[in-house]
Amino acid sequence: MAITVTIDLGYELNVKANYASVFAVLSDVPKSASFFPKVNQLVDLGNGAYRWEMEKIGLAQINLQTIYASRYVSDQAKGTVVWTPIPDEGNALVSGSWKIVDKKKSTHITFQSKGELTLPLPGLMKMVVAPVVESEFEKMVEQYLDNLTQHFGGEV
């Protein structure tokens, strides 16, 4: 038995750093990942693909660990970094994108991510586990964006 938890997040922010600096960090997956909390290991699979192995989180007697892989494609001219899930790598499928726009005196960043996490739990656990997993993931993404914002000199 397994349950699937779907998470869909989107954020927008304006940072003080210039476009080139922002794009350089967000298009460099290991550099960008260094700002994400609770990453146990980031594995380079080659050809723009990375496997993310997150730290285990505990819920009462249950320990959960998210592992997934995505392929990243960056386009500096378009100001995009897009990631698509690689099936059969771990227990989640994660896709998303960065959209980076030069505003001359600041840089506008749009972050979108969607994840489907499959957990080896009975269906009855979904009501209890899904909100906790969603909340935990949302907190990690918000911390990630806060860490990046600080790196980029703060919000405008």
- Domain boundaries, position 26: 3-151
CB atoms near residue 57 (< 10 Å): 16
Q: Does an H or E element contain 149, and which?
A: helix 126-151
Structurally, how many domains does the chain consist of? 1
Q: Is residue 63 very low, low, confident or very high in pLDDT (cuts 50, 70, 90)? A: confident
On whether residue 56 sits in a domain, the answer given is: yes
The verdict on residue 112 lying in a domain is yes
- Answer whether 156's CB lies under 8 Å from 29's CB: no
Distance CA 135, CA 123 (A): 19
Domain annotation covers residue 71: yes
Query: Does some domain include residue 32?
Result: yes
Q: Is position 105 within any domain?
A: yes
For residue 57, being part of any structural domain is answered with yes
CATH number at residue 18: 3.30.530.20
CA distance 34 to 24: 14
pLDDT of residue 121: 87
Helices (H) and strands (E) in the chain, counts: 3, 9
Average pLDDT over residues 46-70: 87
**Where is pLDDT greater, at 64 or 80?**
80
- Model confidence, pTM: 0.94
**In this structure, is residue 156 part of a structural domain?**
no
pLDDT confidence tier of residue 61, bands split at 50, 70 and 90: low
Confidence of residue 42 (pLDDT cuts 50, 70, 90): very high
Which of 64, 125, 129 shows the shortest CA–CA distance to 91? 64
The answer as to whether 76 is a domain residue is yes
